[in-house]
Structure 1
């Protein structure tokens, strides 16, 4: 199996909350962008800036954490 096919299969298995990304302004480790990342707080994948370390909901404090 070629690398591109493997990556496409992985993407099909990823559950991403918002494929359109979040357009809120940069704040607390969040910035809008076009990269798939994993939030350091909630461990969910999101689409944001290449350097974003938190999803927008965690950065803005709008998500409840266990």
Structure 2
């Protein structure tokens, strides 16, 4: 993704971060509604955020590479 101009790179990174945050919030709400404690829900949300952000960055990198 380094060969893209900054004007193109920054919005895609912001979209990736926003999608990851929404995924983390949904994971937190689902875990809490299932009856788990807050600590487990936060850990699940963190794992969901990290996984989604990693997947988004991998997809963006693969799309730029061709």
Report the TM-score, using the length of structure 2 for normalisation.
Answer: 0.25
Between Structure 1 and Structure 2, which shows a larger proportion of strand residues? 1
Between Structure 1 and Structure 2, which shows a larger proportion of helix residues? 2
More relative contact order, 1 or 2 (CA 8 Å, 6+ apart): 2
Give 1 or 2 for the bigger CA radius of gyration: 2
